[in-house]
Amino acid sequence: MEKPHILATKPGEYKGIRQIFAPLLEKHFTVVPYHEFEKNPNLWAHKIQAVIVWFTIPKISRDLLLSLPNLKAVISGGVGVDHLDIPLITSFGVKIANTPNIVDNATADIGMALLLASARKLIEGMGRIGHKIAKRAQGFDMKILYHNRKQREAEDEKAVGATYCAKIEDLLRESDFVMLSVNLSPETHKLIGKRELSLMKPTATLVNVSRGLVVDQDALVEALEDGVIYAAALDVTYPEPLPRNHPLLRLKNVLILPHMGTASYQTTRAMVERIIANTHLALEGSPLLDEVKPN
Q: Which of 5, 131, 136, 211 is catalytic?
A: 211
Which residues of the chain fall short of a pLDDT of 50? 117-118
List CB contacts of 28: < 8 A, sequence separation 6 or more.
3, 4, 276, 279, 280
> Strands across the sheet with 48-53, in order?
30-33, 5-8, 48-53, 73-76, 95-97
Q: Are residues 277 and 250 in the same domain?
A: no
CA dihedral 96, 265, 109, 280 (to 10 degrees): 20
Does 108 map to a domain? no
List CB contacts of 32: < 8 A, sequence separation 6 or more.
5, 6, 7, 8, 44, 47, 48
Range of the domain at 178: 116-256
Q: Are residues 20 and 126 in the same domain?
A: no
Question: What's 132's domain CATH number?
Answer: 3.40.50.720
- Other C-beta atoms lying within 10 Å of the C-beta of residue 141: 8
Task: Provide the pLDDT for residue 117.
Answer: 47
C-alpha to C-alpha distance for 228 and 188, rounded to whole angstroms: 22
Does 293 map to a domain? no
Q: Are residues 198 and 270 in the same domain?
A: no
Does 109 map to a domain? no
Q: Which of 13, 240, 273, 291 is catalytic?
A: 240
Q: Are residues 125 and 237 in the same domain?
A: yes
Q: Directed axis angle between helix 100-115 and helix 265-284, to 10°?
A: 160
Q: Are residues 245 and 277 in the same domain?
A: no
Does 243 map to a domain? yes
Does 111 map to a domain? no
Indicate if 28 belongs to the active site: no
How many domains is the chain partitioned into structurally? 2
Q: Are residues 82 and 189 in the same domain?
A: no
Does 295 map to a domain? no
| Cross-strand partners of 255 | 233
Q: Are residues 127 and 249 in the same domain?
A: yes
Q: Find out whether 5 and 48 touch, Cβ atoms under 8 Å.
A: yes
Indicate if 211 belongs to the active site: yes
pLDDT, tens only, 67-117 = 999 999 999 998 888 899 999 999 999 999 999 876 656 666 666 666 654
Q: Are residues 78 and 131 in the same domain?
A: no
Does 181 map to a domain? yes
Q: Are residues 269 and 242 in the same domain?
A: no
Q: Are residues 142 and 66 in the same domain?
A: no
Task: Provide the pLDDT for residue 147.
Answer: 86
Does 146 map to a domain? yes
Phi, psi of 207 (to 5 degrees): -120, 125
Q: Are residues 276 and 156 in the same domain?
A: no
Measured distance between the N- and C-terminal CA atoms of the chain, rounded to whole angstroms: 38
C-alpha to C-alpha distance for 146 and 166, rounded to whole angstroms: 9
Q: Is the peptide bond before 58 cis (omega within 30 degrees of 0)?
A: yes
| Cross-strand partners of 215 | 192
Q: Are residues 121 and 249 in the same domain?
A: yes
Indicate if 147 belongs to the active site: no
Supply the pTM of this predicted model: 0.72
Q: Which of 136, 152, 259, 274 is catalytic?
A: 259
